[in-house]
């Protein structure tokens, strides 16, 4: 297998990380303690639960359904809003990226202001597929993406934009983010999906539809990274179904400068250490030598 050589200093889209593997938003990110646990267990950086302008309880359950090789969720953006700032206290100077959402540029700007000086970067959630008025509803409109990105990027803090695959042309949205001043794009958020309990004759998630993640979406994520790498000049962070070191290398060859890992945590909280132990080798290659090499 192709391996990477461990570099002393890793910088992705303006964010310094300890390695190329980042805990994805929404996974074990509700408390500072759980984020710290994942960083201690080998994540090179961690993205928080998405934080919005008002506290939200999220959707009624079932919120998560685990399948063979895939997960479906409709959490509904539960978050404690500004109260979350206190959760960061126990994280010291560790590499944390705040995932934020809002319904318009002003709300994005307000939420971002709470975290300035406390995180290494922002990740704009314009891609959650199951929250009315937020997420993908904004992320499928290039003008809104450009303006929301601009509102946060003007803080000067590295600003990543997490994109939805649930659009006809993801590069159009990626370009809008770049125009708005994004320092990187993250691809992808979950793929809108549905399952039904035949026994109970109703959708398996309380919200009805949800977002699909896990190994099943890896080929979709890889295709999106590939397209964005060709269309943009800013870095692309791969996200979606990554569950092995080989998946990471594949993402890098498609054009990802780092990857985010989420659903694979279901296989164990030690997933970052497991993947790192295979991904890095003293005989490995520099990421720059294989980045986008498959194009």
Partner 1 sequence: MKEIPSFPVKITKIIEETPGIKTFEFDRDFEFLPGQFCMVWIPGVDEIPMGLSSKNSITVQKIGEATSALFNLKAGDLIGIKAPLGNGFSLKEGRTLAIAGGVGAAPLRPLALLGIADAFLLGARTKEDLVYAEELSELTDLHIATDDGTFGHHGFVTDLLSEVDPLSFDTICVCGPEIMMAGILRILESLGIAEKGQFSLVRYMKCGVGICGSCCLDDDGLRVCRDGPVFTGDKLLKSSEFAKYSRDASGRRIYGGSGGH
Q: Tell me, what DSSP letter sits at residue 24?
A: P
Active site residue 128: yes
263 in contact with partner 1 (CB under 8 A): yes
Output 12 or 222, the one with its CB closest to partner 1: 222
Contact between 22 and 45 (Cβ < 8 Å): yes
Contact between 25 and 263 (Cβ < 8 Å): no
266 in contact with partner 1 (CB under 8 A): yes
Site residues for partner 1, 135-164, by CB under 8 A, read: none
Contact between 203 and 222 (Cβ < 8 Å): no
Of 84, 160, 218, 229, which one interacts with partner 1 (CB under 8 A)?
84
Output 71 or 152, the one with its CB closest to partner 1: 71
Burial of 199 (0-12, 13-18, 19+ CB in 10 A): exposed
Binding mask 89-118 for partner 1 (x = CB under 8 A): -x----------------------------
Binding mask 191-230 for partner 1 (x = CB under 8 A): ------x-xx-x-x-x-------xx---------------
For residue 31, give both structure tokens: 């408390």
Consult the annotation and say whether 135 binds a ligand.
no
Q: Tell me, what DSSP letter sits at residue 54?
A: S
Number of CB atoms found within 10 A of residue 89's CB: 9
- Strand bridging mode 210-213 / 202-203: unpaired
Closest separation in Å from C-beta 267 to partner 1: 6
Closest separation in Å from C-beta 155 to partner 1: 24
Taking CA atoms, 282 is separated from 4, 8, 25, 40, 83, in Å, by 8, 12, 30, 22, 43
Using DSSP's 3-state secondary structure scheme, residue 252 falls into helix
Which range touches partner 1 (CB under 8 A), out of 20-28, 149-157, 247-255, 275-283?
A: 20-28
Closest separation in Å from C-beta 162 to partner 1: 17
Closest separation in Å from C-beta 24 to partner 1: 10
Sign of CA dihedral 159, 164, 168, 169: positive
Number of CB atoms found within 10 A of residue 71's CB: 23
Site residues for partner 1, 42-81, by CB under 8 A, read: 49, 55-58, 60-71, 73, 75, 78-81
Run of H or E residues at 233: none
Binding site for partner 1 (CB under 8 A): 26-31, 33-38, 49, 55-58, 60-71, 73, 75, 78-81, 83-84, 90, 197, 199-200, 202, 204, 206, 214-215, 243, 262-267, 269
Q: Which residues are annotated as a binding site for substrate?
A: 49, 73-77, 125, 189-190
Give catalytic residue positions: 128
């Amino acid at each position: 297998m192709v391996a990477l050589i461990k570099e002393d200093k890793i910088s992705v889209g303006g964010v310094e990380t300890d390695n190329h593997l980042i805990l994805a938003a929404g996974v074990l990110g509700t408390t500072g303690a759980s984020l710290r646990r994942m960083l201690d267990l080998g994540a090179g950086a961690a993205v928080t639960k998405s934080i919005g302008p008002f506290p939200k309880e999220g959707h009624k359950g079932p919120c998560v359904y685990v399948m063979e090789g895939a997960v479906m969720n409709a959490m509904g953006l539960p978050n404690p809003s500004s109260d979350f700032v206190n959760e960061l206290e126990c994280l010291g100077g560790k590499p944390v990226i705040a995932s934020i959402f809002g319904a318009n540029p002003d709300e994005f700007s307000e939420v971002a202001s709470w975290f300035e000086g406390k995180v290494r970067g922002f990740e704009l959630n314009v891609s959650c597929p199951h929250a009315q008025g937020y997420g993908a509803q904004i992320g499928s409109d290039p003008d809104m993406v450009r303006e929301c990105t601009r509102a946060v990027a003007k803080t000067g803090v590295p600003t990543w934009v997490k994109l939805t695959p649930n659009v006809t042309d993801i590069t159009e949205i990626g370009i809008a983010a770049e125009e708005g001043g994004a320092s990187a794009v993250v691809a992808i958020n979950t793929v809108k999906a549905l399952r039904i309990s035949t026994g109970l004759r109703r959708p398996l998630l309380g919200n009805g539809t949800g977002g699909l993640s896990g190994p099943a979406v890896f080929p979709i994520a890889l295709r999106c990274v590939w397209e964005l790498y060709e269309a943009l000049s800013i870095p692309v962070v791969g996200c979606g179904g990554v569950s092995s070191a080989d998946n990471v290398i594949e993402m890098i060859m498609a054009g990802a400068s780092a990857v985010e890992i989420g659903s694979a945590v279901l296989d164990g909280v030690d997933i970052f250490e497991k993947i790192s132990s295979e991904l890095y080798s003293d005989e490995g290659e520099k990421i720059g030598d294989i980045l986008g090499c498959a194009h």
